[in-house]
Amino acid sequence: MTRAAVQALLSHWRSHPLQLMTLLTGIALATCLWSAVQAINAEARASYDRASAQLAIGRFDKLRASGNLIPLSRYAALRRAGWQVAAVLEGSLRLDGRSVRLMGVDMIAYPALPAVTEIEQGAAAPDPADILTAPGRLLMSPELAPLFQTAPGFPPIITSTALPPDLVLTDIGVAEQLLNRSGQISRLIILPEQPRGQPPLSDIAPELQRITPSAQLDTAQLTDSFHLNLSAFGLLSFAVGLFIVHGTVGLAFAQRRGTIRTLRALGLPMRHLIWIGLGELLLLAAIGGMFGLGLGYFLAGALLPDVAATLRGLYGAPIDGQMSLRPQWVAAGLAMATGGTLAASGHALWRLSRMPILAGPGLQAWGGDTTSTRITGALGLALLIAGTIAYFAFGGLIAGFALLAGLLTGAALLLPLLLSGALTLFLRRARSPVAQWVLADMRAQLPGLSLALMALLLALAANIGVGTMVSSFRLTFTGWLDQRLTSELYVTAADDTQGERITEWLTPRVSAVLPIRSAELTHETGPLFLYGIVDHESYRQNWPLIAEGPDVWDHVLNRGAVLINEQLARRADLWPGDRVAITAEHTLPIAGVYSDYGNPTGQAIVAMPVLDQIAPNTETRRFGIRTEPERASDLAQVLRNQFELPPSAVVQQAAMKAQSMAIFEKTFVITSALNVLTLGVAGFAILTSLLTLWTQRLPQVAPVWALGLTRTQLARLELLRSVLLAALTACLALPLGLVLAWVLLVVINVQAFGWRLPMHLFPGDWASLFLLTLLAAVLAAALPAWRLLRLPPAALLRVFANER
């Protein structure tokens, strides 16, 4: 009996292959986007872990001289006092427009570097003498190797997957030559095992600062908000995909009522039926889930390089462009698919269990009535309020997302009530009988369509919100780059002496040489970079201040005040008029706050003499050069030749801007990709809902046809109905999208990145999105309309003949 029942129930799918495809696609889409985001996040986190393990960045304390490099003699003095430290010299190399971090470690004093150990244990272990003596070897990830293989003048390469993708590791002896910084040390790692009887550090090297790992910016922590953003997007897509599942499963059970009634009449217990239904769903979830995982893996692989570029650009986070398949990920994806399918089908199963044994095939559209629309609406309102309260009560990134979630789900639940209200309003105005019928019919259809329309609302709102945020950001960022990068050339000298020579040589040839000097300090909120500036109109006219006290430049340049960046201002809640403790001994008044996009750390600007006071001996190696723009290119070449500078040491403003914009664009590639996908899923959800309703529409259409409307007219009305509902939804999505954008800009961005952006409006984008929505609605209704058009009149006539 059970076997026969299973066959009977499953035969439904054989006669409805499209429905089966739809259901599987729904499950697959939901799983795909969610899993893709999870895969990207997992990959990124694995990269961070690897990087911090490889370089012991997160684990060990380090010693640093604020503002300058550590001389070799200091290292020897520490060692001879018993301090077990390993010297590290860091710098960046530019190759093909890409900036790569070069890390030179004293591989003799610190031979236990995990990356080195891994290479040692590899099949082709190199001769240590090759690594330690000229020309040395460069250790890098396979991803980076092609870049160096084609470039002349570098030592031979050893690749290892143990290395982070943006880092070249080498012996310090090789690094000092490649970076042209002989005998200099960026920082000292304090090794884990220290001998007994050490003198205190302050006796040997009082000028060095000991930095504990907690005071160092942790990549994982920094990027958490970014990953949370991605997860939220994945979850949204997951929810939208489940709308499809809900629609199709409901339809499938509705269509099988006849079969179910027969089976029960033959004696099959309800309990068995439920188990069969459950088994069927689990099987479908497994198939759809696998399919979705495959898609998700592919999607993640396609998006990962851009995400990697983003994370590198925004946070300097090391991340691989390579995907690997993790078993936990497969398990989690399948669990999500199964859980989601069951959640989306629970309603249908529950209805099945409650069905009276002899109930006939239902004709009334399934879904709620007016009362339940009101209840849903009230629930929506409650969620809206709850989200808002949560945000104001708790604050922070999670509360920001709670606000978003409350807004989106609340608005979605309110949608049927609002649409029904709008239709009622139209109905009162309608004069012609056909118009009245169309509107009344639409209102009657609402419960069946409402889930699909909610999906559409969410997708549209997300599109408007995220689109507004990205475009606002782009506009602000471009303007900010213009303000910030005012010098025509940026030059980096090998050391202070060469810096002096370059300044001397340049001064008579250009309109200004602006030294760029900075010292790395530690503030309670994390690392703090202190910059010194000279008085020049470049700063006075262009510096992008977002908050300022009176006579801001006069205070900074002549009265010992400080400018801080927005990140520091928001993290420490310091604004003009407050005082900031730059070091334990130096507390300065804040004259202004400037925007500083794309930089995770705190920053402050003081006049040059103040910098020298706070961090004496800060190196003077970098300069901004003001000259006529058309001379910049030639001057760059002359400078390189004159001082034998590597190409990367002289950068033109245009190149710098182009690179910054490229990083920016990559940042939002994934956002727009997910945006488009969500909209596609929502369109698909409308199609499935319309198809579901279609089977139940014949009895309602037949009388109108009998009254004299042609099938062509009916088909056109069918399209119109779909377009009208989509248009109404789009109109409601606009304010929701704008509120979403506001939350993203003012709440989420501030929490995630530390900066607040002004909101700009882009009506052109809305118009095109509106048209796209109408097009999607037409496409979704096209199939039902076409079916209506081709319906034999006999089928319509039969409605009157058949018993209801």
Please provide the DSSP assignment of 164-196 as one string: -TTEEEEEHHHHHHHTT-TTEESEEEE-S---S
3-state SS track over 334-383 = HHHHHHHHHHHHHHHHHHHHHCCCCCCCCCCCCCCCHHHHHHHHHHHHHH
- Nearest approach in angstroms of CB 93 to other proteins is 18
Segment contacting other proteins (CB under 8 A): 100-108, 341-349, 616-624, 768-776? 100-108
User: Counting every residue, how long is the chain?
Assistant: 804
3-state SS track over 609-641 = HHHHHHCCCCCCCEEEEECCHHHHHHHHHHHHH
Q: Nearer to other proteins by C-beta: 146 or 183?
A: 183
Residue 280 CB neighbours (<10 A): 18
Segment contacting other proteins (CB under 8 A): 187-195, 234-242, 331-339, 404-412? 187-195
Task: Name which position in 17, 96, 153, 193 contacts other proteins (CB under 8 A).
Answer: 193
Give the contacts of 11 (CB within 8 A, at least 6 positions apart). none
- Nearest approach in angstroms of CB 53 to other proteins is 18
499 φ/ψ angles, rounded to the nearest 5 degrees: -55, -45
Q: Does 84 bind other proteins (CB under 8 A)?
A: yes
CA distances from 574 to 55, 400, 547, 556, 738 (A): 34, 22, 11, 16, 29
- Nearest approach in angstroms of CB 155 to other proteins is 14
- Nearest approach in angstroms of CB 475 to other proteins is 49
Which of 407, 423, 426, 413 has its CA nearest to residue 453?
Answer: 413
Q: Does 710 bind other proteins (CB under 8 A)?
A: no
Q: Nearer to other proteins by C-beta: 116 or 337?
A: 116
Segment contacting other proteins (CB under 8 A): 132-140, 156-164, 362-370, 386-394? 132-140
Q: Does 135 bind other proteins (CB under 8 A)?
A: no
Handedness of CA 615, 618, 622, 623 (dihedral sign): positive
Q: Nearer to other proteins by C-beta: 55 or 682?
A: 55
Segment contacting other proteins (CB under 8 A): 128-136, 507-515, 665-673, 728-736? 128-136
Q: Does 255 bind other proteins (CB under 8 A)?
A: no
Task: Name which position in 97, 135, 183, 629 contacts other proteins (CB under 8 A).
Answer: 183
Q: Does 127 bind other proteins (CB under 8 A)?
A: yes
113 φ/ψ angles, rounded to the nearest 5 degrees: -50, 125
Size of the site for other proteins (CB under 8 A): 38
3-state SS track over 401-432 = HHHHHHHHHHHHHHHHHHHHHHHHHHHHHCCC
Task: Name which position in 2, 11, 99, 133 contacts other proteins (CB under 8 A).
Answer: 133
- Nearest approach in angstroms of CB 195 to other proteins is 4
Segment contacting other proteins (CB under 8 A): 114-122, 245-253, 330-338, 666-674? 114-122
Helix (H) or strand (E) holding 461: helix 433-484
Q: Nearer to other proteins by C-beta: 193 or 369?
A: 193
CA distances from 379 to 240, 300, 382, 687, 692 (A): 19, 36, 5, 27, 26
Q: Does 431 bind other proteins (CB under 8 A)?
A: no
Q: Nearer to other proteins by C-beta: 85 or 513?
A: 85
* Amino acid at residue number 652: Q
Q: Does 182 bind other proteins (CB under 8 A)?
A: yes
Segment contacting other proteins (CB under 8 A): 120-128, 554-562, 716-724, 748-756? 120-128
Yes or no: say if 756 and 745 are a contact pair by the CB < 8 Å rule.
yes
Interatomic CA distance for residues 293 and 291, integer angstroms: 5
- Nearest approach in angstroms of CB 65 to other proteins is 17
Interatomic CA distance for residues 230 and 41, integer angstroms: 8
Q: Nearer to other proteins by C-beta: 81 or 220?
A: 81
Task: Name which position in 106, 280, 320, 488 contacts other proteins (CB under 8 A).
Answer: 106
Q: Nearer to other proteins by C-beta: 127 or 573?
A: 127
Q: Does 278 bind other proteins (CB under 8 A)?
A: no
Q: Does 205 bind other proteins (CB under 8 A)?
A: no
Interaction with other proteins in 20-79: which residues (CB under 8 A)? 72-73, 75-76, 79
Q: Does 103 bind other proteins (CB under 8 A)?
A: no
Q: Which residue matches tokens 């999505």? A: 733
417 φ/ψ angles, rounded to the nearest 5 degrees: -60, -45
Q: Nearer to other proteins by C-beta: 73 or 328?
A: 73
Q: Nearer to other proteins by C-beta: 119 or 455?
A: 119
Interaction with other proteins in 325-384: which residues (CB under 8 A)? none
Q: Nearer to other proteins by C-beta: 104 or 247?
A: 104
3-state helix, strand, coil in the chain (%, to 5): 65, 15, 25
- Nearest approach in angstroms of CB 462 to other proteins is 53
Task: Name which position in 46, 132, 145, 731 contacts other proteins (CB under 8 A).
Answer: 132
Six-digit token string for 150: 């084609």
Task: Name which position in 117, 324, 478, 558 contacts other proteins (CB under 8 A).
Answer: 117
Which of 130, 133, 178 has its CA nearest to residue 154?
Answer: 178
Interaction with other proteins in 138-177: which residues (CB under 8 A)? 171-173, 176
Segment contacting other proteins (CB under 8 A): 141-149, 190-198, 382-390, 784-792? 190-198
Q: Does 125 bind other proteins (CB under 8 A)?
A: yes
Handedness of CA 449, 450, 452, 456 (dihedral sign): positive
Which of 30, 39, 13 has its CA nearest to residue 289?
Answer: 30
Distance of CA 369 to the CA centre of its chain: 40
Q: Nearer to other proteins by C-beta: 109 or 201?
A: 109
Return the C-alpha torsion angle 639, 642, 644, 650, nearest 10.
Answer: 0
- Nearest approach in angstroms of CB 101 to other proteins is 19
Task: Name which position in 58, 114, 126, 560 contacts other proteins (CB under 8 A).
Answer: 126
Please provide the DSSP assignment of 272-302 as one string: HHHHHHHHHHHHHHHHHHHHHHHHHHHHHHH
- Nearest approach in angstroms of CB 103 to other proteins is 14
Q: Does 129 bind other proteins (CB under 8 A)?
A: yes
Is the peptide bond preceding residue 135 cis, with omega within 30 degrees of 0?
Answer: yes
Q: Nearer to other proteins by C-beta: 143 or 176?
A: 176
Task: Name which position in 107, 300, 317, 462 contacts other proteins (CB under 8 A).
Answer: 107
Q: Nearer to other proteins by C-beta: 204 or 274?
A: 204
- Nearest approach in angstroms of CB 117 to other proteins is 7
69 φ/ψ angles, rounded to the nearest 5 degrees: -85, 165
- Nearest approach in angstroms of CB 498 to other proteins is 18
Task: Name which position in 131, 139, 168, 190 contacts other proteins (CB under 8 A).
Answer: 131
CA distances from 236 to 17, 34, 459, 681, 740 (A): 28, 8, 8, 11, 13
Q: Nearer to other proteins by C-beta: 108 or 676?
A: 108
Residue 595 CB neighbours (<10 A): 24
Q: Which residue matches tokens 């949370």? A: 228
Q: Does 609 bind other proteins (CB under 8 A)?
A: no
CA contacts within 13 A on the Cβ side of 195: 11
Residue 97 CB neighbours (<10 A): 10
Interatomic CA distance for residues 532 and 542, integer angstroms: 16
Rounded to 10 deg, the angle between the 114-121 and 17-55 helix axes is 100
Q: Nearer to other proteins by C-beta: 55 or 285?
A: 55
- Nearest approach in angstroms of CB 193 to other proteins is 5
What is the binding site for other proteins (CB under 8 A)?
72-73, 75-76, 79-82, 84, 106-109, 111, 116-117, 120-121, 125-129, 131-134, 171-173, 176, 182-183, 193-197
